[in-house]
Structure 1
Amino acid sequence: MTFPEISLPSRPLALKQSSLSLPRGYAISLPIVFLLTGLLFYWQAPNLWRDYQISQNPLVMEDGRLVDGECKVRKGVFTDCDARVAYTYQGKSYESDTHIFFVDAHSGNYETDIVISADNPELATLSLGLDKLENRFISFGVLFGVFAIICLISIVLGVRTSYARSRLTTPALLTPVPVEIATYKESFGRLLVTYADKIADDKTKRTAYSRFAKGQEPIIIGEFDGSPVGLAVRHGNTAYPVLLDAGLERIKMTDEERAAALASIATARETVADEQPSLREPPKKGRFLRVIIGFLAIILVIAGLVLGYWYWYVTAGYTQFMQAGMEINNMLPAPMNEWGCDQLQKRFGDQNAPYGCTASDFKSWK
């Protein structure tokens, strides 16, 4: 696309730190990923280390007992086996739990023996675990590596964004650049935008994130490969370009400079689009009325279900002492309550009356 000529003050300018953001949910997802990585290590690493030690000098226990041994296959290939082993070695009894995880397309049962370390008889596992030891190390390495890479990428993103934010308050020359709006979502009045620096001649191909408060939105100057193009600025050597808001409030400059810059942008945009598109959804007429109608419809559906259940209770229920039915019948207006009690009495008149249909003695029918 052809990027229009836009004039900004030629002096160094500072930007608001809030102009750059982290991805939505970053503060929650990062500790969760770290926790999952730690749990994976805690779940598998001790078992792998134990079985590696046993594999150096294994000894099969012919008279050992396998208790509650079970293997579960998930997604067709992920096999997870647990068992409790009991054995006697050199007159001393041992018991321990063993767990192994590996990837296998096997179907059917596994045959296995109890194997201990001849050097350290307290260490015991299954021969299946030793047979699959290389498989287990590879499976663990791949899974742990994936989680570790996600953690590393998250840390790099957080550090790089935090460092870039800290540099924005230091005045530097601003260079206007176009950026592709990758995704955007409006939530509780705020606009969450993900944009990529891959249009400008000196593109970095980095992705950045920005939040716009209620009433604010980015400046859209065109379209590139079907995606909106926003106006951003490079702040000196800062890692990410900063997406500008429509009022240029993110740039710390005088009112006169801001007015001149906005006029320059308006003039430049006339050569690109007839009117400025918006990423925010326009107010929908009748939205409040539709909400009210939807709410009333839900109330009517619930009321219909409750009354339907009540009708079934008084005419076909298997007992007069159904708790929900008694509560509903007791809360209904007197005519409906009386009719319901009459229906119940026709079927259960020779028994005690339920709550809502009792006389003063709380037993007989009213």
Structure 2
Amino acid sequence: MTAPSERAAPLRLPPQGQHWMATFWVLFGVLALGAMLAACAVYTAPAVISDWQVRGTAQPVADARISEGKCSSKIAIHICDLTLSLRRPAGTVTRRVNYVFAGLHVGDFSAGAMADPARPDLITTDLGLDRLWNRTITLGVIMAALAAAILGALASLVRNRRAAPGTAG
């Protein structure tokens, strides 16, 4: 009988003959995660930033309307898309906002339009302002997790490329 260390065959990463396919899927995953990160930065982050700017001075606005609003929940993550409009003497201000926040909630969400009188273009809702810290932390965690996954995938791609037999490096 031989010792267990003598029987073990050396392992190589990535598996021989599948290197190009593994590289393709890693790059595809990086692109998909990058698109999700970009979507967070384009659709969700601006509403969080503007809500921080008006959080202390926003007031309920009678002339404002929520023309479209939809919230969906996936386990403990809630995503709300709203279209807000505010009639002003200079014209109507319309703004689409996207809220992403965490928590356990059963039932419907309610929202009322709010705005800073000095900056009516940053119209928001009491729902968004009430959950501002939650939205900020949720967005930060999601964006950090996506960035970490992207960096981890790229690091593994580089590491596996160097470990592959027959590659110079």
TM-score, normalised on structure 2? 0.75
TM-superposed CA distance for 1:117, in Å, is 2.7
* Distance in 2 of aligned mates of 1:80 and 1:98: 11
What corresponds to 1:34 in structure 2? Answer: 34
What corresponds to 2:126 in structure 1? Answer: 127
Alignment of 1:9-158 (within 5 A): 21=19, 24=22, 25-75=25-75, 77-89=76-88, 91-92=89-90, 93-158=92-157
Shift of the 164–129 alpha-carbon distance from structure 1 to 2, 3 Å rule, reads same
* Distance in 2 of aligned mates of 1:110 and 1:55: 20
The Cα RMSD (Å) is: 2.9
* Distance in 2 of aligned mates of 1:127 and 1:169: 59
* Distance in 1 of aligned mates of 2:83 and 2:33: 31
Shift of the 4–67 alpha-carbon distance from structure 1 to 2, 3 Å rule, reads closer
TM-superposed CA distance for 1:158, in Å, is 1.9
What corresponds to 2:5 in structure 1? Answer: 3
Q: Which runs of 5+ in 1 are unaligned?
A: 6-17, 171-366
Contact 2:100 2:135 in 1 (8 A): yes
Contact 1:48 1:137 in 2 (8 A): yes
Residue 59 of structure 1 aligns with an amino acid whose one-letter code is Q
SS of residue paired to 2:155: helix
TM-superposed CA distance for 1:20, in Å, is 9.6
What corresponds to 1:247 in structure 2? Answer: none
Residue 61 of structure 1 aligns with an amino acid whose one-letter code is V
Structure with bigger RCO (C-alpha 8 Å, 6+ apart):
2
Q: Deviations over 1:106-133 (max 9, x none)?
A: 2223332211133322111111001001
* Distance in 1 of aligned mates of 2:167 and 2:86: 67
Alignment of 1:149-168 (within 5 A): 149-164=148-163
* Distance in 2 of aligned mates of 1:83 and 1:113: 11
Q: Report the number of matched residues.
A: 156
Shift of the 163–87 alpha-carbon distance from structure 1 to 2, 3 Å rule, reads same
Shift of the 96–4 alpha-carbon distance from structure 1 to 2, 3 Å rule, reads closer
* Distance in 1 of aligned mates of 2:49 and 2:138: 14
SS of residue paired to 2:94: strand
Q: Which runs of 5+ in 2 are unaligned?
A: 8-15
TM-superposed CA distance for 1:22, in Å, is 7.1
What corresponds to 2:11 in structure 1? Answer: none
SS of residue paired to 1:121: strand
Q: Deviations over 1:70-121 (max 9, x none)?
A: 322233x2222222222234x3332222221212322223332211133322
* Distance in 2 of aligned mates of 1:117 and 1:44: 20
Alignment of 1:1-366 (within 5 A): 1-4=3-6, 21=19, 24=22, 25-75=25-75, 77-89=76-88, 91-92=89-90, 93-164=92-163, 169=168
Q: Deviations over 1:129-166 (max 9, x none)?
A: 01001111111122212211110111111223334559
Shift of the 63–33 alpha-carbon distance from structure 1 to 2, 3 Å rule, reads closer
TM-score, normalised on structure 1? 0.38
SS of residue paired to 2:121: coil
Residue 5 of structure 2 aligns with an amino acid whose one-letter code is F
Residue 37 of structure 2 aligns with an amino acid whose one-letter code is T
Contact 1:98 1:124 in 2 (8 A): no
Q: Deviations over 1:308-354 (max 9, x none)?
A: xxxxxxxxxxxxxxxxxxxxxxxxxxxxxxxxxxxxxxxxxxxxxxx
- Of all paired residues, the percent bearing the same amino acid is 20
Shift of the 166–49 alpha-carbon distance from structure 1 to 2, 3 Å rule, reads farther
Shift of the 23–146 alpha-carbon distance from structure 1 to 2, 3 Å rule, reads farther
Which protein is richer in helix relative to its size?
2
Residue 104 of structure 1 aligns with an amino acid whose one-letter code is G
* Distance in 1 of aligned mates of 2:27 and 2:38: 18
